[in-house]
Amino acid sequence: MSLLEFKHVEDVMRSECSGQRVCIRGWIYRRSVVGKKAFVRVRDSTGVIQVVVDGGKLGEQLVRELKDIGLEASVVTCGVVKESERAPGGFEIEADYFAVIGYSRDFPIKGGEGLDYLMDNRHLWIRSPRYANIFKIKHTVLAAGREYFIKNGYWEVTPPILTASACEGGATLFPVEYFESKAYLSQSAQLYLEALVYVLEKVFSLTPSFRAEKSRTRRHLAEYWHLEPEAAWHSMEDMMKVAEGLIVYIVERVLEERRRELEDLGRDINALKKALNTPYPRVKYDEAIEMLQKKGVNIEWGDDLGADEERVLTMEFETPFFLTHFPRQVKSFYMKIDRSRPEVVLGFDLLAPEGYGEIIGGGEREDNYEALYQRILEQGLNPEDYKWYLDLRRYGSVPHSGFGLGVERAVMWIAGLDHIREAMPFPRYRGRIYP
Ligand code: 4AD
Ligand code: MG
């Protein structure tokens, strides 16, 4: 039988297919035997369909075998498609051919296991149809993100992952042996992207970023995917428009192409649709502190906002919204000081609604050599480590801005997930490196 004659489950579950003979292949998702009939639910990358194996037609031996067959055995089966009210999804295949390709004895996941056990079996757990939905949404987020930048005149570039110094502070650096010396896994491509804007003006990269986050939270991974644009001649406000455009583009695409997956995951589509309403509110850090204080949150001007504070703020908005003009001490050394108000920097975060919080961090970069040098000292860093980065301010410096989108943070919000590890097939966090 040639490959072309096989169909995918989603293409079979349609009224046009009713009465047609089809062949599918996949894995056994569930099965039960009633009398001489086996009801086998077969899963492929596109869905799950019930296959009815009648012992009267295909032999009672096969039905006996199916009664004890392990979940996730791989199978090939053919038969006529029928619309059936009793079948989950409304369609079933009445098998006239059924063959087991790969046996599966005692599949380790049966339902009801605890999280650590499931994570130890992550390579098998991801076969759950829930993950097919999540990974497909992630695919669309990645594809749309890239496409948005390419369509808007950004060049995709490939910054290094092995680096010599910190972009986002030493506390979350991962050291690695690098020949005779020490290097670190990149926390952000930003510093290298800044060098590349002098070549290509508008650039972006999609790379893994690494953070040695000491504590486990719902929204932190040790390894995540980072989509980062950087553009010459762009102010903070220009860059916020780019960020807004990116989110609208991604959400539109997911709503268009991944509607079924969102629905299967139980995502509130109407809440997500609100993200299409722009411009997003722009809230200064000062106003955010006032809003929090009015709500009884114990916070003072100068404090950093954590997940809890962000969650309180997200309850005030139905769309994503920007926070801007943070105190200089809570943000990284590269942020440009607001010249009209030197206690704050021209940085912004984009927070997703519904409790999710920060999905983007960015801003305008300090482009003055002296000011940047002072900021490096002020943050207790060694200017020697940033010599090349300082050079960018010595040879034809230009105003420029950029940001970083945490891809899994975006997927978490868009798909309505409770935990960021769900957005990664093999998530890395403290205490987890296997499988
Ligand atoms: O806010 P962050 O630390 O900003 C930067 O790294 C900038 N250098 C980016 C830039 O301007 N090019 O990180 C950016 C985003 C965050 O908003 C968040 O979405 C995500 O990266 N992020 C994480 N995602 C998962 N796990 C973690 N531990 C993350 N840390 C940051
Ligand atoms: Mg941030």
Give tens-digit pLDDT for 360-375: 999 999 999 999 999 9
Q: What is the pLDDT of residues 218-247, one digit of tens each?
A: 999 999 999 999 999 999 999 999 999 999
Nearest residue to 204 (alpha-carbon basis) of 187, 224, 188? 188
DSSP 214: S
> Is there a cis peptide before residue 435, judged by omega within 30 degrees of 0?
yes
Nearest CA to ligand 1 atom 11: 403
pLDDT score of 325: 98
Q: How far is the CA of 185 from the centre of ligand 1 (A)?
A: 14
pLDDT score of 93: 98
What's the distance, Cα to Cα, between the start and end of the chain in Å?
A: 36
- Cβ-based neighbour number of residue 93 at 10 Å: 29
Given strand 181-185, what is the order of strands in its sheet?
A: 162-163, 181-185, 174-178
Structural contact between residues 28 and 72, judged by C-beta atoms closer than 8 angstroms? yes
Structural contact between residues 185 and 161, judged by C-beta atoms closer than 8 angstroms? yes
Cβ-based neighbours of 139, under 8 Å, separated by 6 or more = none
Residue appearing with tokens 């055995």: 73
pLDDT score of 129: 96
pLDDT score of 2: 54
Ligand 1 atom index nearest CA of 406: 19
- Cβ-based neighbour number of residue 336 at 10 Å: 23
Q: How far is the CA of 187 from the centre of ligand 1 (A)?
A: 8
Q: How far is the CA of 135 from the centre of ligand 2 (A)?
A: 24
pLDDT score of 66: 96
Nearest CA to ligand 1 atom 20: 406
Q: Which of 161, 165, 188, 419 for mutating ligand 1's site (highest number of atoms within 8 Å of CB)?
A: 188
Ligand 1 atom index nearest CA of 420: 25
> What is the number of the ligand closest to the CA of 169?
1
Ligand 1 atom index nearest CA of 350: 17
Both tokens of residue 39?
Answer: 């009801």
Cα gap 289→218, rounded to integer Å: 23
Residues of the chain with pLDDT under 70: 1-4
Cα gap 99→266, rounded to integer Å: 34
Nearest CA to ligand 1 atom 7: 404
Q: Sign (positive/negative) of CA torsion 306, 311, 316, 317?
A: positive
Nearest CA to ligand 1 atom 17: 360
Q: How far is the CA of 335 from the centre of ligand 1 (A)?
A: 14
Q: How far is the CA of 43 from the centre of ligand 2 (A)?
A: 40
> What is the number of the ligand closest to the CA of 203?
1
Q: How far is the CA of 191 from the centre of ligand 1 (A)?
A: 13
Cβ-based neighbours of 99, under 8 Å, separated by 6 or more = 75, 76, 77
Structural contact between residues 167 and 195, judged by C-beta atoms closer than 8 angstroms? no
Q: Which helix (H) or strand (E) holds 23?
A: strand 21-34
Q: Which residues of 194-330 form beta strands (DSSP E)?
A: 202-210, 223-232, 282-284, 321-324
Q: How far is the CA of 136 from the centre of ligand 2 (A)?
A: 26
Cα gap 36→34, rounded to integer Å: 6
Beta strand pairing call for 181-185 and 223-232: unpaired
CB under 6 Å to ligand 1: residues? Answer: 167-168, 187-188, 190, 211, 213, 220-221, 224, 226, 228, 358-362, 402-404, 406, 408-409
- Cβ-based neighbour number of residue 213 at 10 Å: 16
Structural contact between residues 362 and 243, judged by C-beta atoms closer than 8 angstroms? yes
Query: Which residues are registered as beta bridge partners of 373?
Result: none
pLDDT score of 4: 55
Both tokens of residue 246?
Answer: 């990116």
> What is the number of the ligand closest to the CA of 190?
1
Cβ-based neighbours of 56, under 8 Å, separated by 6 or more = 36
pLDDT score of 188: 98
Cα gap 283→349, rounded to integer Å: 10
- Does the pTM surpass 0.75? The reply is yes
Nearest CA to ligand 1 atom 4: 361
Give, in degrees to the nearest 5, the angle at Cα 418 between 413 and 423: 65
Q: Which residues of 103-173 form beta strands (DSSP E)?
A: 155-156, 162-163
